[in-house]
Amino acid sequence: MSRVEQLKEQIRGLSPDELAEFRSWYERFDRATWDRRIAADVRTGRLDALAAEALREHARGKTTPR
């Protein structure tokens, strides 16, 4: 059984309170992981082309305010 399958099995066995605690922790963990990835992509210039394209589209009036 893979580690993911083992985790799934363990999660299924959590009580409602434990599941709520796990969900809360995982949401924080996932957001922090995403933030670190985006920050790394910014540092390495990986998003530069996308940002430049977005700015060009905005300059052409192809964006709308929210």
Percent of the chain with pLDDT over 70: 100
| Predicted local distance difference test score (pLDDT) of residue 46 | 97
Longest dimension (CA), the chain: 54
Amino acid, res. 58: H
Residue 45 CA, chain-centre distance (Å), reads 19
- pLDDT tens for 5-37 read 999 999 999 999 999 999 999 999 999 999 999
**Per-residue pLDDT averaged across 34-51, rounded?**
97
Give the pLDDT mean for 60-66.
91
Q: Which residues contact 57 (CB under 8 A, 6 or more apart)?
A: 63
Task: Tell me which DSSP letter residue 46 carries.
Answer: T
Q: What percentage of the chain exceeds 90 in pLDDT? A: 95
Within 8 A by CB and 6+ apart from 54, the residues are 63
